[in-house]
Amino acid sequence: MHKLRVLVVTFVTLLALATLSAVSLAQRTSVGRDFPVYDNGGKPDLTVDPQRFVAQMEIIDRLFDADSCALAEGVVGASGYRRILRFDTVLINGGDGDLVVGDRSDPNNPYHDWFVFSACHGHYHIRDFSVYELLNTDGSLAAVGHKQGFCFEDSFKYDSGKSHGFFCGYQGITSGWGDWYYKQLVGQWIDITGVPEGDYIVRVTINAAGTFDEGTNRYPNVIETPIHVPSPRKKVAVDNSPALVDN
Ligand SMILES: [Zn+2]
């Protein structure tokens, strides 16, 4: 995510400095305390930062051109104005081992078959890593979810220790670190166009296909939060800022 992320991080850092909370950005201490690194036999244990997931959630309208990456990636149902529910996903690695996904070009990479090239992004993703769904309160599906590909790297520090420098070309998440997918990224949402007003549940499932061995897997791979969806006729904020992809 480097170039665009740098812009976003710089902006957020300025805001954070203004409120004297830069420390909380550099190290997500309060959440880190809930997911301390533990003895997991040297394996990673992935979970989602629940605070950021809820705090950044919002419903907006956005215009999608017929040739947009969102259409190509199947993360909106059609072109034109769509109503989307978007949120941040930060993957925390609370296990005592790094998540090492590595380089797709390595013929011995055990995850070779899980990589898929994203033409819009110009790099490889791990396919089907997470599933984003809107559920009715009875648990049935209310809006067609989608599977989001990921490119793993270190963004936030949650526990002690240095980053081992994973990036999109050599993917992974260091033990005690988190990988941030912010809500402005293409696909960091659920298309809720036409969903009637009411109470719903937003669910994110990570490592959905069981691609990675998480050992004892103490920390949850499914996170849910309630949401009230307004009437489709009600106006919400419009965001037609340029599309961002994770690189
Ligand atoms: Zn990407």
Quick check: helix, strand or coil at residue 96?
Answer: coil
> What percent of the chain is modeled with pLDDT above 70?
88
Report pLDDT digits (tens) over 127-147: 989 999 999 999 999 987 888
Ligand 1 centroid from CA 91, angstroms? 15
Q: Give the amino acid at 239.
A: D
Distance (angstroms) between ligand 1 centre and the Cα of 49 equals 20
Task: Please give the distance, rounded to the nearest whole angstrom, from the Cα atom of residue 186 to the centre of ligand 1.
Answer: 9
pLDDT at residue 65, rounded to an integer: 94
Global confidence as pTM? 0.86
Tell me the mean pLDDT in the region 154-163: 92
For ligand 1, the distance from its centroid to the CA atom of residue 121, given in whole angstroms, is 5
132 CA from centroid of ligand 1 (Å): 16
The model's pLDDT over 193-213, given as tens digits with 9 standing for 90+, comes to 999 999 999 999 999 999 999
Q: When comparing pLDDT for 7 and 227, which is higher?
A: 227
Mean pLDDT to the nearest integer, 74-91:
95
Residue 100: CB atoms within 10 A of its CB come to 18
Q: Distance between CA atoms of 187 and 181, rounded to whole angstroms?
A: 10
CA 118–ligand 1 middle distance (angstroms): 7
pLDDT digits (tens, 9 = 90+) for 8-22: 444 444 443 333 334
Residue 108 Cα to ligand 1 middle (Å): 22
pLDDT band at 149 (very low <50, low <70, confident <90, very high): confident
Average pLDDT, the chain: 88
Q: Which residues contact 150 (CB under 8 A, 6 or more apart)?
A: 91, 125, 126, 129, 130, 179, 181
Ion ligand 1: residues, Cβ under 5 Å? 121, 151, 246
